[in-house]
Structure 1
């Protein structure tokens, strides 16, 4: 350690009164002093309890306040009829210790070396001290809150800063303005600022993705009525096999004319290029985000900030006699957690299979119903109802997943809050991801491929047929699922996210408005501008904060989780839903202001946290980018009809030999994808009754078609099926390798840290070293 840092350390310990040599304080040359700290006139934190409570709770309440006073915290107690408010203010010595420790630490933050300690820093320090005070009964503040000893705890909003943020940012009329990131950082801390910085950057980068998605949609729309594939479906006289047992009858392929048109909007050649574009886009987004983040963290002087060292500093400030929390690892606990996580994932996958059973059962009941419209469209209606049930399942499982994740993290006994937060994030996101995407993966890659064929249908309990893909293609089912879930989830989330806090604030305001009006009247009667703020003015301000909605350490986590799940929807199955980036863009434009209004006006102030990154979310986003490449390759190669159409054009179609010029190359494609089931086959007779072989016009038919590549006599798979299957796998491998190469080239081409940031950090380090040398008098 340099002489300057060693001297600063000694002065700090002398200040704390814990260092002596040979019975006296050590003498050293005086180190450069920091600017003086001005005492704070406001309170940093407020605890709320009940005045008249049972004796046991009152005793614990008094014991906790006594512990705070032992740490030299200033306590202001103000009562009303039912509640007691404790205003907590830390003395300037606490902040002096914090600043000294910053100077001698490896992650020195010169932004803290200013004339006054900002309220955001004071709040962070006091919050840490409060949460690490332990009573003789081994109970901390969280335990007391759970017991009802205290009703609430919160830090205070600053009226002027709150008003300024509302004017510039947290209102709907500012939706066309940029975000004042520096103001957000000064008020809410770096952690919240980086969330809004990330959200703003994500929203900006969605613009090109949305534009390309619209172009792909318009490309499909341009051939809406002229495509030979659509013409072949709409003019077809082919009779198709019943889609279910008993009441379902044969139907005309032309009945799916509209669905075939809709399917072509999303299943065309442009979809392939769009999927490749989005896979590269995800990498570009992340690489440029890291550059964008680096610029701000360098400007905020937190580029080299270390979370672990910050926590050690706060430990010493809270308790000079603290002991380090040693890192521990238990293979037994890790194995137990892994087993429990696996069981939870199996439960979630089981719920997805429950949705499959629901759709199968619903299809049967709708087909046997009295309404012709529902019976004729039983598969589509069942798919839509399944999507709605899936959304309700997501809503319920979100709460279950959160509880399970918290229990597992508590069982792990992590070393610090940062480690606890990382562990919770990974578990919660994993559970949520499987909850949302298990059903979609089934629809994308298994639906219609394991249900068998006429004469050999796969049945549940030997009774109910497994569901099939939509007659216009499996991609249509995936599109329906994604559209319903994405629209419902974003709409419902925004309504609950804004409506819930607004209603709760109104309810709290209604309960406390009489007391607050009395306090305001008394406060305004104090006309002496130089007088110290009266108790009624303090209580007025504290009540205003008290009636806001509560927040906790995971409030920001919920915002991140919502956006990262949306990012997953936007990238993983974008080949099936090119308009997903557009919906995400529209949602995010409102999401930014909604979150801003909620944090500034509807909720209590979040504890300002320091950080220089978005944490483990970066790794999660990178994993999603890789999964997006795999999933989109599989969707195009396996789920869509892109490969079968390609094989038909160059191998089986009229243009295959290169001699036909007056016929469309895709003519006859639809018929080539169909196989025929004859009623002369005994196995077919078991699956279809004669009543089902009657058309809507009353004509009796003795054969019907179904979508598959099978021999019409023994129903074995044809050579065309095996060729298409081989090309599908070849395409998936080629697609993924090409896109991955593009991703690596993009990541290499775009430096994660801008050159001006590197140069600025180099100059800062050089200046610090020179100052260190001058201070040491070497």
Structure 2
């Protein structure tokens, strides 16, 4: 689909729509005029100094699209915005530095007429930043809405969202670039690396890091899959010969994430986010409280008692999570009862049907686990929002903690019970295989097949509506905006990382008993790469680019899983008949040796974490040099100020 901007060139030369703003249908005219004026107004007068135009065709507003506005910016405005948000670009001397307009000619590929110096994703990020930083000055309320109070320093866009006036803000796709990206990313079946740099340029670092981590985990699983296939073929009837595989599993999980941190640092430096200064974090849109003064910024903004938040966490959220964990354990015991009944039926009948029935309880339990995980996720989001965290990072940390604790117990409690209470390795293999495969099939259907089918239907509907307008002009942009505004909003990488986390747990904890777990994980991840790429390009609205230097709190989550994996595999090795045969008389001695081995393994793991630097040596040197130059520049600036001060006193 190729866009023609000719219909919009009549408004202003070279106006390129980058971001779409959709207001509610019943929005007052005075509100629209006030908001558009704030967007256009100069920065010194409290505006964003951007370009904004209503969505039109043939110079006329279209029915059903009267409240849709297109936002863009001049090339100069975008360059100044790049300096404001602290974008880091590559210089002519191959170093990465924060972009400044005064030193623009020192940056690689910069030219006054080169409008591709900033990627479209970076331009959209700048516009989003400027819109979010539109703040009230003298206004006491939103024009046309007396109940929507405004206070000095209050974010206007967030106030519009909370009052239901502003429905959504989203960046437009670039069809030509999207077509190129799709061609190299998911349209051809090939065994090769993903175009991570292109993904980063189009979707931003947060999305690129997810796909980079997915690719890294997939390649890291390949050795385990290669070893697992012959291991399973030759020992598939002997469920106790897993010592060697457990040992390999232990070493693999210990070093996996240490090497990832180095890869992550290399990408973050190349993309400019490793040296990007973190901006002061604004309150999240859902945060509420009484009006007060922020002690850091001095601005008026809502404040909320930390004591009240702690009461909500420990007196409501924590008991609710414990209740959910208890219910999850109750469901697990129901599953074991079903397993017991299925085995009784099989022993009595000994038929092909009874053999199939043996797998039914595990399949039902796997489906119930997925349903419970999704229901709990909604409850966790509600509770975390109700706790009223001021910052988005704090909200995400509490949400991730709640979800991971429940998902870990819900998915792995039965496996731990079977392994360390029932000591039934045959049932452990069967349960692990069923849980892993069922969860992968369900996730692929829910996350890829169903959304793709719905989007195909939505596309046909939009094209019919646009054709019915019967306007003699190029409606490609009109089609695109109407299609994209109806797309689902990208929910973020939370669910994708959670799925990877659970898969990593299945493989690292118990794959020694079921060596094919790594094989299924690799196959699933390859499919996941293509389906997630298709979703990003065809099903969801384009998300705003978000700078990131790593995978965030998920790094800690995966590291915690590796520690649990080391302990689990050591215990499994100690339980094996081969090791037990070495201590036929003294089980206490065996337990002490297993505990000692587990402590030594953890000690080696933490020593490796210390020995393997998170950043390669050359990156460390570049960062140190940049810090030294910054300090020298600061010293020179201070000396200049002192000299000017002395000169004034002398005069």
Fold shared by both chains (TM-score > 0.5): yes
The aligned residue for residue 87 of structure 1 is 70
1:234-257 deviation per Cα after TM superposition (whole angstroms, max 9, x unaligned): xxxxxxxxxxxxxxxxxxxxxxxx
Mapping of residues 506-521 of structure 1, within 5 Å:
506-517=456-467
Aligned pair in 2 of structure 1 residues 131, 759: CA closer, same or farther (>3 Å)? closer
How many angstroms does 1:215 deviate by?
4.5
Whole-Å separation in 2 of the counterparts to 1:636 and 1:272 = 5
The 3-state SS of whatever aligns with 2:53 is strand
The 3-state SS of whatever aligns with 1:560 is helix
How many angstroms does 1:592 deviate by?
1.6
The 3-state SS of whatever aligns with 2:21 is strand
Whole-Å separation in 1 of the counterparts to 2:416 and 2:639 = 67
Whole-Å separation in 2 of the counterparts to 1:520 and 1:594 = 36
Whole-Å separation in 2 of the counterparts to 1:138 and 1:441 = 54
The aligned residue for residue 403 of structure 2 is 428
- Does residue 102 (structure 1) correspond to residue 82 (structure 2)? The answer is no
Match of 1:495 among 434, 440, 445: 445
The 3-state SS of whatever aligns with 2:512 is helix
Mapping of residues 444-455 of structure 1, within 5 Å:
444-447=419-422
The aligned residue for residue 670 of structure 1 is none
Whole-Å separation in 2 of the counterparts to 1:768 and 1:281 = 40
Whole-Å separation in 1 of the counterparts to 2:265 and 2:435 = 35
Whole-Å separation in 1 of the counterparts to 2:484 and 2:85 = 32
How many angstroms does 1:432 deviate by?
1.7
Aligned pair in 2 of structure 1 residues 437, 308: CA closer, same or farther (>3 Å)? farther
- Does residue 575 (structure 1) correspond to residue 512 (structure 2)? The answer is yes
Whole-Å separation in 2 of the counterparts to 1:602 and 1:333 = 37
The 3-state SS of whatever aligns with 2:413 is helix
How many angstroms does 1:495 deviate by?
2.3
- Does residue 202 (structure 1) correspond to residue 173 (structure 2)? The answer is no
The aligned residue for residue 175 of structure 2 is 159
The 3-state SS of whatever aligns with 1:575 is coil
Aligned pair in 2 of structure 1 residues 366, 746: CA closer, same or farther (>3 Å)? closer
Mapping of residues 700-711 of structure 1, within 5 Å:
none
The aligned residue for residue 610 of structure 1 is 547
Whole-Å separation in 2 of the counterparts to 1:309 and 1:149 = 27
How many angstroms does 1:603 deviate by?
1.8
How many angstroms does 1:636 deviate by?
3.7
1:382-408 deviation per Cα after TM superposition (whole angstroms, max 9, x unaligned): 5x3332222222222222222222223
The aligned residue for residue 124 of structure 1 is 125
Whole-Å separation in 2 of the counterparts to 1:480 and 1:549 = 37
The aligned residue for residue 296 of structure 1 is 267
The aligned residue for residue 360 of structure 1 is 337
Unaligned residue ranges in structure 2 (runs of 5+)? 1-11, 42-46, 56-60, 89-95, 111-116, 143-147, 151-155, 284-296, 641-651
- Does residue 593 (structure 1) correspond to residue 530 (structure 2)? The answer is yes
The aligned residue for residue 479 of structure 2 is 540
1:459-516 deviation per Cα after TM superposition (whole angstroms, max 9, x unaligned): xxxxxxxxxxxxxx60111111110010011122112221122112112112111244
Aligned pair in 2 of structure 1 residues 748, 504: CA closer, same or farther (>3 Å)? same
Aligned pair in 2 of structure 1 residues 168, 82: CA closer, same or farther (>3 Å)? same
The aligned residue for residue 481 of structure 1 is 431
Aligned pair in 2 of structure 1 residues 366, 197: CA closer, same or farther (>3 Å)? closer
The 3-state SS of whatever aligns with 1:164 is helix
1:102-123 deviation per Cα after TM superposition (whole angstroms, max 9, x unaligned): 399xx96349956554332232
Q: TM-score, normalised by structure 1?
A: 0.65
Mapping of residues 166-315 of structure 1, within 5 Å:
166-171=182-187, 173-220=188-235, 261=237, 264=238, 266-268=239-241, 271-309=242-280
1:329-358 deviation per Cα after TM superposition (whole angstroms, max 9, x unaligned): 734533541452343234233333233234
Whole-Å separation in 1 of the counterparts to 2:555 and 2:470 = 47
How many angstroms does 1:768 deviate by?
4.9
- Does residue 738 (structure 1) correspond to residue 582 (structure 2)? The answer is no
Do 2:228 and 2:516's aligned partners in 1 also have CA atoms closer than 8 Å? yes
Whole-Å separation in 2 of the counterparts to 1:59 and 1:505 = 35
Mapping of residues 46-57 of structure 1, within 5 Å:
46-49=20-23, 51=25, 55=26
Whole-Å separation in 1 of the counterparts to 2:607 and 2:560 = 17
Whole-Å separation in 2 of the counterparts to 1:278 and 1:338 = 37
Aligned pair in 2 of structure 1 residues 310, 359: CA closer, same or farther (>3 Å)? closer
TM-align CA RMSD: 3.9
How many angstroms does 1:736 deviate by?
0.8
Mapping of residues 685-764 of structure 1, within 5 Å:
723=586, 725-764=587-626
Aligned pair in 2 of structure 1 residues 518, 325: CA closer, same or farther (>3 Å)? same
The 3-state SS of whatever aligns with 2:523 is helix
Do 1:366 and 1:375's aligned partners in 2 also have CA atoms closer than 8 Å? no
The aligned residue for residue 648 of structure 2 is none
How many angstroms does 1:369 deviate by?
10
1:658-687 deviation per Cα after TM superposition (whole angstroms, max 9, x unaligned): xxxxxxxxxxxxxxxxxxxxxxxxxxxxxx
Aligned pair in 2 of structure 1 residues 39, 289: CA closer, same or farther (>3 Å)? farther
How many angstroms does 1:446 deviate by?
2.6
How many angstroms does 1:177 deviate by?
2.6
Do 1:47 and 1:153's aligned partners in 2 also have CA atoms closer than 8 Å? yes
The aligned residue for residue 454 of structure 1 is none
How many angstroms does 1:161 deviate by?
1.7
1:547-603 deviation per Cα after TM superposition (whole angstroms, max 9, x unaligned): 433224xx2111111111111111122232222222211211221222112112222
Aligned pair in 2 of structure 1 residues 184, 143: CA closer, same or farther (>3 Å)? same
Q: What number of residue pairs does the alignment pair up?
A: 569
Structure having the higher Rg: 1
Do 1:294 and 1:303's aligned partners in 2 also have CA atoms closer than 8 Å? yes
Do 1:74 and 1:89's aligned partners in 2 also have CA atoms closer than 8 Å? yes
The aligned residue for residue 323 of structure 1 is 299
How many angstroms does 1:310 deviate by?
6.9
Whole-Å separation in 2 of the counterparts to 1:641 and 1:332 = 54
The 3-state SS of whatever aligns with 1:48 is strand
Aligned pair in 2 of structure 1 residues 184, 103: CA closer, same or farther (>3 Å)? closer
